[in-house]
């Protein structure tokens, strides 16, 4: 119920927000986590396991017995035969060895695994939303760059039109600049298609909010950036020991270990006690003294080869499988983390080169060729080529930057950093 209340409050809050308000990554992750039914289902399952663990640790309920013993069937009289009794009794079965406590312990580990699994789902969701959000932001930034350069191309067409009017150039040069402008318009239209496709992917997580105004500036994530910069490959595997996915796997192994202990308890006898009290009436042959009985019972697990032995072997096999699965998970996460760190470091270096050198060189080249065209020392084809090269350089730099932050989103998942788009 709390999940649906939070979701309703969140959706109402965004519905009441101004239409021009920008949705940032932090808010997108929060919407996705509030709307995601998987984490809510995982938490509900973990809570169910926790409740079941308490119940599993309890003794069986006692059994109350009420009855009549040795009632003569010819007269059905209670005072005719001395052995006729009205009996009340209670019996109690005791857990086999320490099986009750072990069952509760196993259930507690299952619940712990469920809670850790729910946390892992939240982290994975933050990663997926971050990647999808940054993809939309990248496409929006590309369109923004194309639009900015379109204005430059429009000015070039206007400049050529004025020069044609004064017979300084031929008509084919005007047509050539108009064709370059049309091609740029086509790229903007293609970018619009990519934006809508990326918004559709993002809407899987945040619904209609994906089609609103989005903040395209990448998040800060200063702590993650500093951590990545400081790493040398391979990163230590110990970093992943506290990851929710690993914690969930460890808890499952602990539950299987408790199950092995439970299987070992099955070799012990299960005891029970039966206490009864029989009330008699006076008869001609008896003074009617009441009877009390106490009985102790226990089973004899003698034939265990095809039952207890098999169950113990199965429990040990499941424990071994769980340990191997945990080790495989650690290795997989470690490999993926190393890949994400390596990718982020490479992208950061490449983007720095663009930022410090290539962007300035491309813009300076385009300006120099344009000045040459104005002074009739360069042709129009060189002007357009230089400007298109500057555009491609700007777009490449933007894509490198967003690829870098998508790699950081993956790193943040492996480091189990909460899904906060504006966190340090």
Render 184-247 in DSSP notation, one character per residue: HHHHHHHHHHHHHHHHHHHHHHHGGGGGS-B--SPP--HHHHHHHHH--SSPPGGGGTT-HHHH
Q: Give residue limits of the domains in the chain.
A: 25-59+100-267+304-414, 61-93+268-302
Half-sphere exposure for 125 (CA within 13 Å, toward CB): 25
pLDDT for 368: 92
Asked if 39 contacts 121 with a C-beta cutoff of 8 angstroms, the reply is: yes
Q: Is the peptide bond before 234 cis (omega within 30 degrees of 0)?
A: yes
Residue-wise pLDDT for 376-394, tens only, equals: 877 888 888 898 999 999 9
Does the pLDDT of residue 222 top 50, yes or no? Answer: yes
- Residue 216 to residues 36, 143, 149, 194, Cα–Cα distance (Å): 24, 11, 18, 15
Long-range contacts of 117-121 (CB under 8 A, 24+ apart): 117/42, 117/46, 117/244, 117/245, 117/248, 118/39, 118/42, 118/43, 118/46, 119/244, 119/247, 119/416, 120/243, 120/244, 120/245, 120/248, 121/36, 121/38, 121/39, 121/42
Which pLDDT band holds residue 286 (cuts at 50, 70, 90)?
confident
What is the C-alpha separation between 387 and 380, in angstroms, rounded?
Answer: 11
If you average pLDDT over residues 201-220, what whole number do you get? 94
For residue 249, what are its two tokens?
A: 């796997």
Distance CA 155, CA 149 (A): 10
Q: Answer for the pair 210, 136: CB distance below 8 angstroms, yes or no.
A: yes
Confidence class for position 418, pLDDT limits 50, 70, 90: low
Question: Considering the domain 25-59+100-267+304-414, what is its CATH architecture?
Answer: Up-down Bundle (1.20)
For residue 2, pLDDT over 60 is answered with no
| pLDDT of residue 321 exceeding 90 | yes
| pLDDT at 24 (0 to 100) | 94
More confident residue, 262 or 21: 262
Distance between CA 338 and CA 139 in Å, rounded?
27
Closest CA to 91 of 302, 298, 300: 298
pTM: 0.83
pLDDT grade, residue 49 (50/70/90)?
very high
Q: Mean pLDDT highest for which of 8-12, 27-31, 281-285?
A: 27-31
pLDDT in tens, 330-359: 999 999 999 999 999 999 999 999 999 999
**340 or 15: which leads in pLDDT:** 340
Kindly tell me if the per-residue pLDDT of 319 is higher than 90. Answer: yes
Give the CA distances from residue 152 to residues 148, 160, 367, 378, in Å, rounded to whole numbers and listed in that order: 7, 12, 11, 18
């Amino acid at each position: 119920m709390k999940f649906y209340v939070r979701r309703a409050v969140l959706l109402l809050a965004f519905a009441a927000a101004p239409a021009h308000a920008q949705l940032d990554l932090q808010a997108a992750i929060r919407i996705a986590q509030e709307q995601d039914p998987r984490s809510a289902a995982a938490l509900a399952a973990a809570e169910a396991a926790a409740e079941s663990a308490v119940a599993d640790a309890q003794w069986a309920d006692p059994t109350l017995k009420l009855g009549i013993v040795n009632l003569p069937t010819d007269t059905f009289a209670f005072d005719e035969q001395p052995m006729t009794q009205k009996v009340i009794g209670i019996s109690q079965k005791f857990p086999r060895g320490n099986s009750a406590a072990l069952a509760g312990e196993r259930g507690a580990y299952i619940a712990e695994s469920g809670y850790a699994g729910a946390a892992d789902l939240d982290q994975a969701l933050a990663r997926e939303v971050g990647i999808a959000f940054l993809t939309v932001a990248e496409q929006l930034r590309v369109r923004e760059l194309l639009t900015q350069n379109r204005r430059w191309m429009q000015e070039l067409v206007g400049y050529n039109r004025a020069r044609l009017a004064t017979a300084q150039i031929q008509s084919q040069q005007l047509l050539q600049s108009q064709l370059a402008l049309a091609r740029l318009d086509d790229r903007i239209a293609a970018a619009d298609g990519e934006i809508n496709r990326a918004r559709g992917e993002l809407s899987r997580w945040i619904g209609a909010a994906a089609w609103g105004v989005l903040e395209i500036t990448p998040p800060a994530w200063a702590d993650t950036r500093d951590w990545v910069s400081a790493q040398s490959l391979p990163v230590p595997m110990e970093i992943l020991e506290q990851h929710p996915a690993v914690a969930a796997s460890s808890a499952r192994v602990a539950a299987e270990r408790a199950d092995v202990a439970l299987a070992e308890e099955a070799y012990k006898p299960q005891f029970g006690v039966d206490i009864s009290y029989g009330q008699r009436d006076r008869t001609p042959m008896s003074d009617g003294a009441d009877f009390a009985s106490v009985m102790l019972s226990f089973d004899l697990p003698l034939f265990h080869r095809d039952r207890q032995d098999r169950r113990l072997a199965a429990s040990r096999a499941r424990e071994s499988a769980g340990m191997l699965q945990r080790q495989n998970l650690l290795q997989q996460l470690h490999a993926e983390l190393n890949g994400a760190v390596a990718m982020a470091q490479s992208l950061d270096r490449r983007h720095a080169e663009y930022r410090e050198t290539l962007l300035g060189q491309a813009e300076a080249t385009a300006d120099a060729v344009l000045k040459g065209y104005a002074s009739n020392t360069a042709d129009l084809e060189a002007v357009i080529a230089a400007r298109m090269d500057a555009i491609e350089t700007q777009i490449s730099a933007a894509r490198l930057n967003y690829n870098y932050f998508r790699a950081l989103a993956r790193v943040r998942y492996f480091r189990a950093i909460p899904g906060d788009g504006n966190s340090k």
